[in-house]
Amino acid sequence: MAKLISAAERIERARQLIQEGRDFPVPEGMGKNDLSYIAGVKDLLRQARDMVKFIPMRAGVSDEMKAEVQKILEEADQADREVLHGGS
């Protein structure tokens, strides 16, 4: 049986996944246009979003925790824009 992970630990792991997405090594050759690079970064950011997306739907979750989840989702979107699209 899978171990349940606390909401705080999920948030921490999501932040780690976002950082991994930012640090994902850019391959030589096609650079950021390499499809495996794009897929790798998008997968890490998707995992980060999936890690926290159901936290606000749990019973007894504080408003602070819900705000923290919203920040994580915004960070994932910002990382996507910065890493893959070159914007801020």
Q: What tens digit of pLDDT does each residue of 21-41 get?
A: 999 999 998 888 899 999 999
Question: Would you state the pLDDT for residue 3?
Answer: 76
Q: Is pTM beyond 0.85 here?
A: yes
**16 domain-assigned:** yes
CA 36 to chain centre: 18
Please say if the pLDDT value at position 19 is more than 60: yes
Angstrom distance (rounded) from CA 37 to CA 28:
10
Mean pLDDT of 4-21: 94
Count structural domains, the chain.
1
**26 domain-assigned:** yes
50: domain range? 7-85
Please say if the pLDDT value at position 81 is more than 90: yes
* Six-digit token string for 68: 């923290």
Angstrom distance (rounded) from CA 27 to CA 52:
29
**1 domain-assigned:** no
- Which helix (H) or strand (E) is 7 found in, with range? helix 7-23
Which tens digit of pLDDT belongs to each residue from 51-75?
999 999 988 889 999 999 999 999 9
Which residue do the tokens 């705000």 mark? 67
* Residue 52: closest CA among 17, 20, 88, 24: 17
**2 domain-assigned:** no
